Structure 1
Amino acid sequence: MKAPAGTVAVRSGEDALLTCVVLGARGKPVLWRRARDSLLLTAGGVRVTRDDRINVLHDDSDEPLQGPGIRKGGDVWALVIKSAKSSDAGLYTCELNTQPPVRSFHRLSVISRGLTPPEAQNTTDQYSANNPTLSTVALAHNYTDCCVNANVSRGCLGFCSIQTILEGTGQDPETCQPDFPSIVKCMADGRNHVPCCIQEKVPDICQDVCRGEFTPVTDNIKTHYSCASYMERTLACIVEGIELLPSPPEDVEVEPISEKQLNVSWSPPTENTDTVTEYVVNVTTLRSFDAHLIDPSESSMQNNTMKMGTFTIIKVSKEKNFLALNDLLPFTMYEITVTSYNIHGSSLPSYSVRSLTLTPGKMKPTAVAAAPKLPDVKSCCLAAGMNHYGCVDKLCDPTKTFEIGLQVTDLMICAPWAGVTFGCLANGMDHTPCCRSRGLPESCLALCSGNITNLDFNHFKCLRFMSGYTNCLLQGYGVLPGPPTKLHLTNIDTDYAVVHWSAPAALADTVQFYNIHFKALQLEDDYRTIDAVQSPYILEDLESNTDYEIYVEAVNEHGLGEASPRLIFRTQSIAIEEEVEVANAYNVTQCCAKVQVASVCMSLCSYDAKMSDLRKLAPLCAQEFHKLLRCGAGGRNHEACCARRGVPPSCRGVCAGAYRGGVNTCVSYIGNIVQCFEEGTGNLPGPPRELHAVVSHDKLFLDWTPPQDGANATYYVVHWQKVDNNSQPYYFNTLQLDSQMQVNETKVRLEGLEVNSTYHLFVVAANEYGTSLPSSMLLLNITEDVVNKEVTGIPSPPHSLSVSSHSATWLTLSWQPPLFSQPDEKITYTLFFKSPSQLVYGQRNNHINHCSCAYA
Structure 2
Amino acid sequence: QNLGNDQLYTFFVVAINENGASLPSSVLHLNIAQYLQDIARGTRDAGNPIAAVPSAPHSLRLDGKTATSLTILWEPPELALPTDRFRYTIHYSTVKTPNSTSKGVTTSSSSNSTQNTTTYNITQTSSTALKLEALKPNTQYVIYVSATNDMGDSRPSETLLAWTDPAYPAFVETPTVHPTSLVVEGSSVTVLCIAMGSPPPTVSLYIAGILVHQDVTRHMVTVVNNITRNMTDISCYADNGYGTPMQSSVTITISRKPEIIAAPVTQTSLGRPVTLRCEVDAWPRPSVVWWRDPTVRVPIIHGGNYKISIIDDDKSKGFFTMEVLIKNVNESDAGEFYCFARNAFGTDMKKIQVVVSPPVHLPPEVSECCRASNMTDECIDACDFDEITLDKVLNRDVCIPEFDKLVRCAADGSDHRACCSQRGVPGSCLDWCRQEPVDDNKACLLQWAPAIFACFDEGREVLPGPPCNVRISSLSDTSAFVQWDQPDKNPDQVELYRVFWRVLGQHIALRNDTAGTSLEINLLKPGITYEVAVKAGNHKGTSVLTSTISYRHGASYVSSASTQDGASVGVAVGIAFAVLALLLGLVVGGWWGWRRRSLLMGKMSHSGSQTGISFENPSYIKEQNGDTVQIAETPNGSLNGTIASDLNRGPSTNSNNSSINGGTSIGLNGSSGSNGFGIWSTQHDQQINSNTPGFEEDTRNNRKYSRFNS
Structure 2 length as normaliser, TM-score? Answer: 0.30
Please tell me whether Structure 1 or Structure 2 has the larger radius of gyration of its CA atoms: 2
More strand, by proportion:
2
Structure 1 length as normaliser, TM-score? Answer: 0.26
More helix, by proportion:
1
